[in-house]
Amino acid sequence: MKLSEDQLMKIELDRTKCTGIGMCESVAPDFFEIDDDGELVVLRDAVDGAEVADVEAAVLACPTAALRLRP
Amino acid sequence: MSSGSSGGRLVVVGASLAGLRAVEAARRDGFTGEIVLVGDEPHLPYDRPPLSKAFLEDDSAPEPTYQPPSHFADLDVDLRLGTRATALDPVARLVATAGGEIRYDQLVIATGSTARTLPGLEGLPGVHVLRTLDDARGLRQALDLAGRVVVVGAGFIGSEVASSARKRGLSVTVLEAAQVPLERALGPEMGGAVSALHAANGTDLRCGVGVQGIHQGSTGLRVEATDGSSFDADLVVVGVGADPATEWLEGSGLELKDGIVCDATLSAGFPGVYAAGDVARWFNRDFDVEMRLEHWTSAAEQGAIAARNAVTGACGEYRTVPYFWSDWYDRRIQFVGVPTADHVTVVTGDPAEGRFVALFRSGSRLAGALCVGYPAHTMKYRRLIGAAASWEDGLAFADSRR
Ligand SMILES: Cc1cc2nc3c(=O)[nH]c(=O)nc-3n(C[C@H](O)[C@H](O)[C@H](O)COP(=O)(O)OP(=O)(O)OC[C@H]3O[C@@H](n4cnc5c(N)ncnc54)[C@H](O)[C@@H]3O)c2cc1C
Ligand code: SF4
């Protein structure tokens, strides 16, 4: 699937699955950050075409499958 | 999506984290051949970290099964649980199991590690180890009836068990044979600093004290220590580490050296044979050393990469900045990088308060970071270490967070 540069994807986080392990932050720090309480903060949930690869890598890196990237 | 994906039969031995990630990655990469997942436990793949944490603390905590049976049906995986692999012939490409031989085109070995026991104490009633779901069920039941717990070994799993038992209000003594706990994982200074969490939470930690013997007395178990002291307990948990599960590979021709020796691509040296997870000793180019990790994150990642390399013929290297976490008494302990260091400094917080960050220096490089109760810092250090940051970069980042 090829995305045009202006097509926006959206990050969805399932808080019931997230354990705050932070792998997503380690892969895509522009989008994810663990806060002082160990909770994940999604810094920005709209992802444009150029950034999709990074965020996809973060989605795959999530140990608990808590993240999704949706059109 | 890789183009080189072929058919044939992928066999994955070990149906836990690395094995699960292997079969998922093979399908994600478009592998259309047969997949057989062989595991000796009777259970569907499940998550181990909760077994010493939430699962032990609370009788109502659910069993941490990763995926329902339908997941394996969807992936078209032939799941053979309760089946032990007993031998490998990497020339004939055969895995022998209790249920007959299985021929493979590609093989991922993900048999993990097995809890060490204390010689002579195996099977003694009231003496537990913790590695499997069955171990955890037995231990949780025993904790329900216990008042006094002795934990042998102040490593991560022993310490998590101690912490869970304290949360249940039990009285807990931890005996550690070494003078300093966790020396191999965190170095001497930080091993001590982290272990101070025990005393702060009412656990009696005795270092330099080994176990001489355990006897069944009239009021429960009596643990005789090497320093002449003794401790009464209703149950004893032995947490003295784990060994890679490679006995079944003896004589196979695979090189075994505290794990299966692999190259940077997780290849075990025979055509189509890869290893992943706790059982794999591989060459990590991020640090240019051979390592074997017993960490959740690397097991998951290695499973995926080993399978991808096996089924697509890709030669992807697995390189990583090691990462693990452990939860003690509501504190999250996280370590990124490697603990072999010339110098260690606390840069944030204060060990006396049980909340701090310490950086590990190796030559001019930032080699590792230990974060205790600073979850917001951990992954930033991991990225710095992955980018081969200098020691000064590490200190500068610490300054910026103060
Ligand atoms: C109680 C506990 C708590 C943990 N907590 C943490 C934590 O907080 N953070 C962290 O980073 N890591 C933690 N870990 C470590 C982490 O769980 C392991 O690194 C991870 O499970 C390794 O996955 P694996 O698939 O390589 O091996 P394993 O999970 O060990 O699985 C190997 C599987 O292969 C099976 N097997 C073995 N031999 C054979 C054979 N011959 N034939 C067929 N099947 C076989 C085994 O029965 C097992 O099911 C913890 C481990 C335990 C036990
Ligand atoms: S990697 Fe997954 S579980 Fe971990 S913090 Fe990110 S979303 Fe949560």
CB of B325 within 8 Å of any CB in chain A? yes
Q: Which of residues 27-66 of A touch B (CB under 8 A)?
A: 29, 33-38, 60-61, 63
In B, which residues are within 8 Å of A31 by CB distance? Answer: none
CATH code of residue A40: 3.30.70.20
pLDDT at A1 over 70: no
Mutate to test the interface with A, among B286, B296, B379, B382 (most CBs of A within 10 A): B379
Q: Is residue A1 part of a domain?
A: no
Higher-scoring residue by pLDDT: A10, B7? A10
Which chain A residue shows the shortest CA-CA distance from B381? A26
**Cβ neighbours for B387, distance < 8 A, ≥ 6 positions apart:** none
Beta pairing, strands B106-109 & B9-13: parallel
Tell me what pLDDT residue B218 has.
Answer: 83
**CA of residue A70 to ligand 1 center, whole Å:** 32
β-strand partners of A10? A46, A70
What would the mean pLDDT of B344-353 be, rounded to a whole number?
Answer: 97
Å from A61 to nearest chain B CA? Answer: 8
Condensed to tens digits (0 to 9), the pLDDT of residues B25-55 reads: 999 999 999 999 999 999 999 999 999 999 9
Condensed to tens digits (0 to 9), the pLDDT of residues B191-223 reads: 999 999 999 999 999 999 999 999 998 889 999
> Could you give the percent of chain B with pLDDT greater than 70?
99
Tell me what pLDDT residue B6 has.
Answer: 60
Tell me what pLDDT residue B1 has.
Answer: 41
Choose the closest CB to A34 out of B300, B301, B379.
Answer: B379
Q: Which of residues 282-321 of B touch A (CB under 8 A)?
A: 296-297, 300-301, 304
In A, which residues are within 8 Å of B304 by CB distance? Answer: 60
**CA of residue B322 to ligand 1 center, whole Å:** 16
Q: Is residue A2 part of a domain?
A: no
pLDDT at B7 over 80: no
Atom 6 in ligand 1: which residue has the minimum CA distance? B49
Choose the closest CB to A63 out of B297, B376, B386.
Answer: B297
Residue among B201, B195, B125, B205 nearest B169 (CA) = B201
- Count how many domains chain A has: 1
In B, which residues are within 8 Å of A23 by CB distance? Answer: 297, 323, 379
Pocket of ligand 2 (CB under 6 A): A 13, 18-24, 32, 40, 62-64, 66-67
Confidence of residue B120 (pLDDT cuts 50, 70, 90): confident
C-alpha R_g of chain A: 12
Å from A6 to nearest chain B CA? Answer: 23
Q: Are B226 and B138 in contact (CB under 8 A)?
A: no
Q: Is residue A22 part of a domain?
A: yes
Condensed to tens digits (0 to 9), the pLDDT of residues A10-65 reads: 999 999 999 898 999 999 999 999 999 999 999 999 999 889 999 999 998 888 88
Mean of all residue pLDDT scores within chain B: 95
Q: Which long-range contacts (CB under 8 A, 24 or more apart) does A50-55 make?
A: A50/A5, A52/A3, A52/A9, A54/A27, A54/A28, A54/A30, A55/A9, A55/A11, A55/A28, A55/A31
Task: Please tell me the CATH superfamily of domain B9-114+243-312, with its number.
Answer: FAD/NAD(P)-binding domain (3.50.50.60)
CB of B375 within 8 Å of any CB in chain A? yes
Tokens of B357: 């960050």
Q: Is residue A59 part of a domain?
A: yes
> Could you give the percent of chain B with pLDDT greater than 90?
94
**Cβ neighbours for B341, distance < 8 A, ≥ 6 positions apart:** B187, B360, B361, B362, B367, B368
pLDDT at B180 over 80: yes
Confidence of residue B5 (pLDDT cuts 50, 70, 90): low
3-state secondary structure of B323: strand
Confidence of residue B2 (pLDDT cuts 50, 70, 90): very low
pLDDT at B308 over 90: yes
The whole-angstrom separation of Cα A69 and Cα B6 is 28
Residue B111, class by beta-carbon neighbours within 10 Å (0-12 exposed, 13-18 middle, 19+ buried)?
A: buried
What would the mean pLDDT of B242-249 be, rounded to a whole number?
Answer: 98
Residue among B186, B158, B190 nearest B356 (CA) = B190
Q: Is residue A51 part of a domain?
A: yes
Q: How many CA atoms lie within 13 A of A1 on its CB side?
A: 6
What would the mean pLDDT of B162-168 be, rounded to a whole number?
Answer: 98
Choose the closest CB to B383 out of A21, A26, A38.
Answer: A26
CB atoms closer than 10 angstroms to residue A11: 21
Tell me what pLDDT residue A6 has.
Answer: 57
Pocket test for ligand 1, best of B12, B17, B107, B332 (most atoms within 8 A of CB): B17
Residue among B396, B368, B387 nearest A29 (CA) = B387
| B117-240 and B330-400 in the same fold | no
Instruction: Judge if the beta carbon of residue B80 lies within 6 A of ligand 1.
Output: no
Q: Is residue A61 part of a domain?
A: yes
Å from B386 to nearest chain A CA? Answer: 10
Determine the CATH number of domain B330-400.
3.30.390.30
What would the mean pLDDT of B121-141 be, rounded to a whole number?
Answer: 95
Q: Is residue A52 part of a domain?
A: yes
Instruction: Judge if the beta carbon of residue B49 lies within 6 A of ligand 1.
Output: yes
Determine the CATH number of domain B117-240.
3.50.50.60
Q: What residue numbers bound the domain in which A13 lies?
A: 8-70
**CA of residue B20 to ligand 2 center, whole Å:** 18
Instruction: Judge if the beta carbon of residue B43 lies within 6 A of ligand 1.
Output: no
Q: Is residue A28 part of a domain?
A: yes
Domain ranges of chain B: 9-114+243-312, 117-240, 330-400
Atom 41 in ligand 1: which residue has the minimum CA distance? B85
Instruction: Write the ipTM.
Output: 0.87
